[in-house]
Amino acid sequence: MEEFQVKDKTLAPQGHLQIEWASAHMPVLNQIKNRFKKEKPFKGLTLGACLHVTKETAVLADALVAGGAQLALCGSNPLSTQDDVAAALAERGVHVFAWRGQNTEEYYSCINKVLDYKPVITLDDGADLVGTLHSKRIQDLDNVKGGTEETTTGVVRLRAMEASGSLKYPIIAVNDAYTKYLFDNRYGTGQSTIDGILRATSVLLAGKNFVVCGYGWCSRGIAMRAQGLGANVIVTEVVPTRALEAAMNGLRVMPLSEAAPIGDFFVTATGDINVIRKEHMEKMKDGAIIANSGHFNVEISLKDLEKLSKTKRTIRPNLEEYMLKDGRKLYLLAEGRLVNLAAAEGHPSEVMDMSFANQALNAEYIAKTSKMAPKVYPVPKNIDEKVAELKLKAMGVKIDELTPEQKKYLETWEMGTT
Ligand SMILES: NC(=O)c1ccc[n+]([C@@H]2O[C@H](COP(=O)([O-])OP(=O)(O)OC[C@H]3O[C@@H](n4cnc5c(N)ncnc54)[C@H](O)[C@@H]3O)[C@@H](O)[C@H]2O)c1
């Protein structure tokens, strides 16, 4: 069996430095790693992971390997792998199959190479590994005890599998832990999406009309950070409560068809398909910039953009100009793939510290727990609270404790108006 496949093994020294830098900002995961080193919860187990191959993922990989795991890893997006980190991981003994700029065939061949290692626990981001196991590799399902899922879109897919009776092993929805989505999806995606847009375009946000499609956990963060840089943020939504929240947060809310002619930037983070399509592109201003931060590259209709265009050229990395037949130019970032990972480096290490602490602790939970039915499970509350507790401690933040009187008061009903 192939040991690893990366773009360039000589990039490893830079990759080790990147991992060292990330690790210095991930105190919670480091504490878990130190415990794993002693307790070896994954001794004798093979873990198969499909995650963005970034410097933070490498710190998670170190923790799992310290816990005794044999780890096989592939990327969860064709454009998100950091090649220096992949090279360093190969040198650290991880069976890594990932490089930046894969085509669809290469992407799935790497997933299959991870599955060739017959993982007992899967760690997925977007459910492509789980999807492949349940469709093309059903013969390998019996080896699997359980898994974890990192992102909203993956959890949505897994719930659909559960509802249709297709899910064959238990999976913990790491995304749905408070210590994941409240911080990773909001502050992580918020900051790194703006980072990706700025690295790709280097243009000013202040005073521009910045249209955010969706007002969920990621899009709230993107809207918040764009507003902080002085952009006029416009939100589009399909759920009334979310639209109302955006309106009460002082943002303009309108249908995308109305936002299309006035937006300078358009960013999707909905987990939905064809959110920006022909009817919107036809109305956009000359020079409008379009990006996506949702998991898959389906939120912007690339087919429509291609059809409306007569030529296409790359202006700079991650910035493509589409010359429309009517003479307008629209600019697409990072091929419509998640802009924060493709054009920047993904979330800052400090938030991945919590997301990946959850991954590590939930993988350990699966390794130690027997007889879980094939369902999608929430993260156990004690794990979520433990991650928050460790993070606060690492940040040097102390909090109050309930007094015995308060504890009793909150657990009883007798005392009312006094
Ligand atoms: N870029 C990253 O690093 C990153 C990180 C975390 C999650 N994600 C991905 O981002 C996406 C969003 O995740 P989330 O946690 O914010 O989900 P969420 O469910 O909290 O929010 C999505 C929002 O989009 C809205 N929406 C759906 N269809 C829409 C449409 N046609 N027009 C306007 N709004 C629409 C929904 O009503 C919802 O409010 C998912 O694909 C998720 O996997 C990406």
Q: Where are the alpha helices (DSSP H) in 69-211?
A: 83-91, 104-116, 128-135, 152-163, 178-180, 189-201
The size of the chain, in residues, is: 418
Q: Would you state the pLDDT for residue 353?
A: 98
Closest Cα to atom 33, ligand 1: which residue?
237
Listed residue (356, 336, 358) closest to 347, CA to CA: 356
pTM of the model: 0.96
Burial of 275 (0-12, 13-18, 19+ CB in 10 A): buried
Q: Where are the alpha helices (DSSP H) in 121-269?
A: 128-135, 152-163, 178-180, 189-201, 217-228, 240-248, 256-259
Q: In which residue are the tokens 């918040």 written?
A: 224
Q: Would you state the pLDDT for residue 302?
A: 98
Q: In which residue are the tokens 């990072």 written?
A: 334
Gap from CA of 389 to ligand 1 centroid (Å): 27
Gap from CA of 409 to ligand 1 centroid (Å): 39
Instruction: Return the H-helix or E-strand segment holding 56.
Output: helix 55-66
Pocket test for ligand 1, best of 237, 270, 292, 338 (most atoms within 8 A of CB): 270
Pocket test for ligand 1, best of 76, 125, 152, 224 (most atoms within 8 A of CB): 152
Per-residue pLDDT in tens (0 to 9) along the chain, 418 residues: 899 999 999 999 999 999 999 999 999 999 999 999 999 999 999 999 999 999 999 999 999 999 999 999 999 999 999 999 999 999 999 999 999 999 999 999 999 999 999 999 999 999 999 999 999 999 999 999 999 999 999 999 999 999 999 999 999 999 999 999 999 999 999 999 999 999 999 999 999 999 999 999 999 999 999 999 999 999 999 999 999 999 999 999 999 999 999 999 999 999 999 999 999 999 999 999 999 999 999 999 999 999 999 999 999 999 999 999 999 999 999 999 999 999 999 999 999 999 999 999 999 999 999 889 999 999 999 999 999 999 999 999 999 999 999 999 999 999 999 9
DSSP-assigned letters across all residues of 6-39: -S-GGGHHHHHHHHHHHHTT-HHHHHHHHHHHHH
Indicate the angle between helix axes 83-91 and 55-66, nearest 10 degrees: 20
CA distances from 213 to 53, 243, 290, 335, 341 (A): 27, 11, 11, 17, 18
Closest Cα to atom 19, ligand 1: which residue?
216
Pocket test for ligand 1, best of 56, 151, 197, 211 (most atoms within 8 A of CB): 151
Closest Cα to atom 6, ligand 1: which residue?
185
Gap from CA of 9 to ligand 1 centroid (Å): 36
Gap from CA of 262 to ligand 1 centroid (Å): 23
Residue 58 to residue 26: CA distance in whole angstroms: 11
Number of other residues whose CB lies within 10 A of the CB of residue 8 = 11
Residues lining ligand 1, CB < 6 A?
Answer: 151-153, 181, 185, 189, 213-219, 236-239, 242, 269-272, 275, 293-295, 338, 340-341
Cβ contact 67:41 at 8 Å: yes
Pocket test for ligand 1, best of 191, 218, 219 (most atoms within 8 A of CB): 218
Q: Would you state the pLDDT for residue 371?
A: 87
Ligand 1 atom at minimum distance from 185 CA: 6
